[in-house]
Amino acid sequence: MTTPPTRGTAEPAALLIDYGGVLTASVVEAFSAACASIGVDSQGFLSEAFAATQATDSPFVLLELGHISGEEFSERLTPVLRRHASGPVDGHQFLAAVQNVTWDLDAAMTAAVNDFIAAGIPTVLVSNSWGKSETYPWEQLPAFTAAVVSSDVGLRKPDRDIYLLAAERVGVDPAECVFVDDLEVNLAPARELGMTAVLHTAAETTITELARLFA
């Protein structure tokens, strides 16, 4: 059963939308497949990788804020992986495995976002990046009104300030925003700010819900 969205406190005027896992293939599935390929318990690893609260020196935090390179991330990730592995592994193995998983853009989602933009709805990409924003396939992505990428702005989900910044970029009150993400941990702060939160599980259901919200 699809989790119904939590309605904001005002009529929606802007769309905030995640990148990885919403406009692309599932990040969770990609990570799970990578874990399976190198003998890592995916449930334990994913719980740590997508925890609501992480230490400031977490490799995930440092990478998404742009404080370390991909190479340093691989090294720092090794002890995290080993906590959930049945044998010796290292971060380079994980990244290599992830790169072998499909990261294609979701054609239905990108087309739908293009339609919302064409209809005049201010739309902001809100993404935790695993590298510089220059690595995003911008030429294939919708023409967002604004883009808030963690490594560029020094903020990352679920820090509430990144949601406030996204709303500010389009001059809209948070309560007038609809936020779409594939991770529940990232939706909680949006709800607290009065945003309408939509948990993305499949293109069809998300597109239907957005069409209803912005009707």
**pLDDT (tens digit per residue) in 29-78:** 989 999 998 999 999 999 999 988 999 999 999 999 999 998 999 999 99
Higher pLDDT, 124 or 5: 124
Give residue 160's pLDDT. 96
Mean pLDDT on 76-101:
87
pLDDT of residue 102: 59
The whole-number pLDDT of residue 6 equals 58
- Burial readout 68-103 (b: 16 or more C-beta within 10 A, e: otherwise): beeeebbebbbebbeebbeeebbbebbbebbeebee
Q: Which range is least confidently modeled, 17-31, 100-114, 157-171?
A: 100-114
Q: Indicate if the pLDDT at residue 3 is higher than 60.
A: no
Alpha-carbon torsion (69, 75, 78, 80), positive or negative: negative
Q: Would you say 6 and 156 are in contact if contact means Cβ atoms under 8 Å apart?
A: no
Predicted confidence at residue 8, as pLDDT, reads: 56
In this prediction, residue 158 carries a pLDDT of 96
1, pLDDT greater than 50? no
State the Cα–Cα distance between residues 84 and 45, nearest whole angstrom. Answer: 6
Instruction: Assign residue 164 a region (left: φ > 0; alpha: ψ between -120 and 50; beta: otherwise).
Output: alpha
pLDDT for 5 equals 58
* pLDDT, position 65: 95
Q: With 90 as the cut, is the pLDDT of residue 131 above it?
A: no
CA atoms within 13 A on the CB side of 130: 14
Establish how many alpha carbons lie within 13 A of residue 156's alpha carbon, considering only the half-sphere containing its beta carbon.
21
